[in-house]
Structure 1
Amino acid sequence: MNQQYMLQALEASRQALPDCQPNPPVGCVLVKNDKVVSVGYTQKVGGNHAEVEALNSYDDGLDGEMEGVTAYVTLEPCSFVGRTPACANTLVKAGVKHVVVAMLDPDPRNNGRGVAILESHGVKVDVGLCQAQVSAFLTPYLGKS
């Protein structure tokens, strides 16, 4: 795990504002062979979440080679279908095998469920990298969607 990648995801999340509201501004960085290969952030309501944006902009994309790709995400991937599909399932289907999450989503619809989906499909999940920095930024935006 590398803090610089999570901090880059945090910077990406800032780009989501104000368009993503009331959804939280989330950032995602895809890393392969110690190189950032894609960055995404939450789009306007009803649009893609950060994980999907990063996957879509990755050259090999959703149908490509995901071997060795690690996703760094500022907030736990969502586990429920709302206006968009569940990001945890999208990461699984894309073939991502390692996800690093800064903080769990306190939303009762998700809290731990996104991580559980990932782990139940054999995805390695690490939680807590840069949690203090990400929480300081994200907390005012949580619980509003």
Structure 2
Amino acid sequence: MRRACGLARKGHGHVSPNPAVGCVIVSADSEIAGEGWHRQYGEGHAEVNAVASVKNRELLRDATVYVTLEPCSHYGKTPPCALMLTELPVKRIVAGSTDPNPKVSGRGLEMLRQAGKEVVSGVLEAECRALNPAFLTAQEQQRPYITLKWACDANGVMGSTTGERLHFSNAQGELWSHRERTRHDAIMVGRRTAEADNPRLDARRWPGHQPRPIVIGGDGSPLAGSRLAANSETLWLPHTDDLRAMVTSLWKEHNISSLLVEGGARLLNAFIDAGLYDRIRVERCPDITEGDVSAPALPADVCPVSSMYLGRNKLEIMLRKGKWQLKKV
């Protein structure tokens, strides 16, 4: 199962809003016969790819299938994996965790039992759940998994009321920032930030998924002549005092299961005040700037889980207590 977890991680940044899943097939004589993972949204699931990798089909007889998440039981972009497994001569299916999706939710495991397969679930469950914090949050809380992200100087300053753009990140920081973007379905900034910075909100410096830009504030109309207005994927939202209803609609109406909030300070503080955060990412520059806008104060219920240096800058990841998390930077 640990090998299957490692395979699942290869799908991060490529399969959302689907979960990242890994699968290992072990023959009756305890040899790995095949393995696979969900590589791309809309393409074959982990179980399908693992079965396809088995060169000697005789090795499937009485084999054990280890999969990090309960095999799906419904028709979506691909046929049900549970149905496929019922038609194979495998003996046992071991699932790391059940699928909270109401379309599955134990039905996949029950389908396998009804077909006479031996079924075991809950193996390395915590590790398997930790693979998919966005998927779990969306399915169980009906909102995206939310990461708050900012950069600041040594005094915790992140901006200036004069409108001057302050630079805290370096080349390494920008690279890792774009990597972070590929791990999310969407990026959100406030309208003032969009006006002041005219950003692209893309992940051009890192290969992988391109997140959907979101601008919130004002009347929700596009900013004429801006880079984001030129992007047909940009979602423009009006100001709202009900952030919880807004993020719920992002999941239910736009299929956004993970959201990266990049600022500015007012928007970040609004999310913190509403209790809408699961993970916080802060890049700290050792220099002191002339800015006068402070970065948000860290909430009391987050704890640091990892850090690394990007040149002179320090990148820190903080997680909300009790959440399922990917603890690597």
TM-score by length of 2: 0.40
Match of 2:312 in 1: none
Sequence identity percentage: 36
Q: Deviations over 1:23-64 (max 9, x none)?
A: 100000000121211111012122100000000011134xx5
* Unaligned stretches of 5+ residues in structure 1: 1-5
Unpaired runs of at least 5, structure 2: 140-256, 258-329
Choose 1 or 2 for highest CA Rg: 2
In structure 2, the partner of 1:56 is: 52
- Equivalent residue, structure 2, for 1:135: 129
Distance in 2, matches of 1:139 and 1:125, equals: 25
Q: 1:98 to 1:44 in 2, by over 3 A?
A: same
The corresponding residue for 2:69 is 75
1:115 pairs, out of 99, 109, 123, with: 109
Instruction: Name the aligned partner's letter for residue 118 of structure 1.
Output: L
**Aligned equivalent of 2:2:** 7
CA distance in 2, matches of 1:136, 1:126: 19
Alpha carbons 2:20, 2:131 under 8 Å: kept: no
Higher relative contact order (CA 8 A, sep 6+): 1
Q: Secondary structure at the match of 1:103?
A: coil
Count of matched residue pairs: 137
Q: Which residue of 1 aligns with 2:25?
A: 30
Aligned Cα RMSD in Å? 1.3
CA contact (8 A) 2:8 2:131 kept: no
TM-score normalised per structure 1? 0.89
Match of 2:305 in 1: none
- What displacement does 1:94 show? 2.0
Cα distance in 2 for partners of 1:7, 1:140 equals: 20
Once the two structures are TM-superposed, the CA of residue 95 in structure 1 deviates from its matched residue by 2.1
Paired position in structure 1 for 2:294? none
